[in-house]
Amino acid sequence: MAKFMDVHEGMVGITPEALKAAHAGDLALQGEEGVSFDHAWADPVSGKVFCISTGPSAEAIQRVHTRNGIPPTEIHEITMEV
């Protein structure tokens, strides 16, 4: 499985509760696409949310997030880490 980082924008003012709810929505759908959403971070000032996940493809990540109502603006495959 590949690892991905995706970015969501336009979530200015997001609260910890809203981030947790959005992540829970992804978790509820992830099995249908063979994806595992591992962690999410947010910056409520810039409105950016970042997610780390593993899955078969960026398209699978996109489908889950889109079905959950939070389509990402960017998805990057992580091909190197230390």
CATH number of the domain enclosing 11 = 3.30.70.3090
Tell me the whole-structure pTM to 2 decimals: 0.93
φ, ψ at 16 (rounded to 5°): -55, -40
Calculate the dihedral angle through the C-alpha atoms of 40, 12, 68, 77, rounding to the nearest 10 degrees.
Answer: -50
pLDDT tens readout for residues 27-75:
999 999 999 999 999 999 999 999 999 999 999 999 999 999 999 999 9
pLDDT tens readout for residues 10-28:
999 999 999 999 999 999 9
Domain count, the chain: 1
CA separation for the pair 20, 65 (Å, rounded): 14
Residue with tokens 């190197």: 80
Structural domain boundaries enclosing 36: 2-78
Outline where the chain has alpha helix (H): 16-29, 58-67
Query: pLDDT band at residue 4, thresholds of 50, 70 and 90?
Result: very high
